[in-house]
Amino acid sequence: GITTVADGYGDNKENPMNLTLFVAVIAVCYVCLLFLLAWGAERWFSGVTRRLQKWIYALSLAVYCSSWSFLGTVGQSANDFWSYLHIFIGPIIIFTLGFGMLRKMVVVSKAQNITSVADFIAARYGKSQPLAVIITLIALFGIMPYIALQLKAMVFSLSLFQSPDDPLDGAKVALIIAVLLAIFAILFGTRKLDATEHNPGMMLAIAFESLVKLAAFVLVGGIVVFGVFGGFGDLWNQASAKGVIVNPNLRLEALMPELIVGMAAFLCMPRQFHVMVVEAEGEQTLSKARWLFPLYIGLFGLFVGPLALAGKVLLGDSVSADTYVINLPLALDAPWLAIVALLGTLSAATGMVIVAVVTISVMISNEWLVPVLLRTGQIRRKNFSQFSQQLLYARRLSIALILAFGYFSYLSFDSSDSLSNLGMLSFGAFAQLAPALVGGLYWKH
C-alpha cells in the first residue's frame, strides 16, 4: 500500500478538486475563534481560578514551538537525522537542570518590576540606558528572520491546497497574513498600559494555540507511524532498507555547539522571556510548569524523526522536506488530516509572531521613547492619561512597523532558504545576549 501511495502522489496533486475555498473558510473561522477567546479573557480573566491560570501560563510557554518546530525540524531531520535535537533538548535541560536559574530570574524580575529582557539586563548593570537601547536594537534585527520564517511557513502551507492551474501569489498572501497579525497584536497586546505588562487575553489565545499545534502534530505523527507503517520499528526498518536515513548515528561534536546556542537563545528571546518571566505571577506559577513544559516539548519532539523518515520513504525529494507534515496527509488522500496539520502550522506561526511583536513594541516604547520624553520634559507637561495614550499609540505604530519590516524580510530572503536556516539566524542573534543575562544574574558587581 505504501508503494502505491508514493507512486500515486503525483496523480493526487493533479486532481482538479480544489480545497482552497474550504481551507480559507476554516482558517478564517479559526482566526475568529482566537479573537473571541482573547476578547473573553480580557473581560473575565480575573474570574478564572488560580489553578487554571497556572495551566494557561504553562501552555503559553510553548509559544517557543513556532513553525520551525512544526515544519522546519522535520525538514532538518530529513537532511540530517539527529540535527533537530538541540531545538527540543535545550529547553528541557534549562527547565530541569537549570530550574534554579529560572526561579532566580523570576524572583529578581518581580522584585524590580522588570518588563522585558532589555529591561532585565540593563537593570542588572546599573540601570544602563545605552545597554537597554542596544539590546532592543539587537532584538529588533534578530526577530526579522524569525518573522520571515513564520510568514514563509504559512504561505508554504496554504499553497499546498492550491490547484496547479491557479497558483498562490505568495507575496499577497504574506501581506494579508501580516496585516491580520498586526490587527490581533494591536487589539490584544496594546489595549491598556499595565506596569506588569500582563496580557491575559493574548496569553489565553497562545495557550489555546499551544494545545492545537501539539494535538495536530501528534495526530499526524500517530496516524502516519501507526496507521501507515507498523510503528517506529517498522518505519525505521523500511527507511534503512531504502537507504534514506542521513547520518543515522548521533554525533555529539555536531550537536553540542548548536545545543549551547539553542539554550542561550531560549533564555534571551524576547517572546520567551516575556511569557516565562514577565507573565509569571511568581515562583509558584513557574514551578507548575517545571515538568509540564518539558513533557510538552518531549511529546512534540517524539514524532519529528519518524515524520521525516516517513516523508523520505513515501515522498522522497518530490516535495520540500519542510512540507512533509502537510504533504504526507495529502499523499495519503486524507485532506481532513492535512487541514488539521495546516491549523497546527497556523497556530505555531501566529502565536510566535504575535507575542514577539508585542514584546518588542514594549521594549521600543520603554527603552527608546520614554527616555526621550523624559529628557525633553514632555512627560512633565502631560497628565497620565495623555502620556499613556501616547505610549499606546507608539506601541501600535511599532507593531505595524515591525511586521512591515518582517514582511520585507520575507520578500528579501531567498526562496530556497530552509526554515531551519532562517531560525538559526535568529537563534544566533539572541544567543549574543546570554553572557550578559547570566552574568548579570550572578555577578555581584
Q: What is the pLDDT of residues 131-184, one digit of tens each?
A: 999 999 999 999 999 999 999 999 989 888 877 666 778 889 899 999 999 998
- Write the DSSP string, 184-218: HHHHHHSSS--TT---HHHHHHHHHHHHHHHHHHH
The cell 544574574 sits on which residue?
441
Contact 67, 419 (CB under 8 A): yes
Given this model, what pLDDT does residue 241 score? Answer: 94
Tell me, what DSSP letter sits at residue 323?
A: G
Q: Is 390 buried (19+), middle (13-18) or exposed (0-12) by CB count in 10 A?
A: middle
Q: Is 423 buried (19+), middle (13-18) or exposed (0-12) by CB count in 10 A?
A: buried
Contact 341, 322 (CB under 8 A): no
Please give the model's pTM, rounded to 2 decimal places.
0.90
The contacts of residue 335 (CB under 8 Å, 6+ apart) are: 19, 329
Given this model, what pLDDT does residue 383 score? Answer: 65
| CA–CA dist 434, 128 (Å, integer) | 17
The grid coordinates listed for 75 are: 525538514
pLDDT tens per residue across all 445 residues of the chain? 333 343 444 444 444 345 677 887 888 888 888 888 888 877 776 667 778 888 999 999 999 999 999 999 999 999 999 999 999 999 999 999 999 999 999 999 999 999 999 999 999 999 999 999 999 999 999 999 999 999 999 998 988 887 766 677 888 989 999 999 999 899 877 776 665 567 888 889 999 999 999 999 999 999 999 999 999 999 999 999 999 999 899 888 889 999 999 999 999 999 999 999 999 988 888 988 999 999 999 999 999 999 999 999 999 999 999 999 999 999 999 999 999 999 999 999 999 999 999 999 999 999 999 888 888 877 766 666 677 788 889 999 999 999 999 999 999 986 666 788 889 999 999 999 999 999 999 987 7
Tell me the residue length of the chain.
Answer: 445
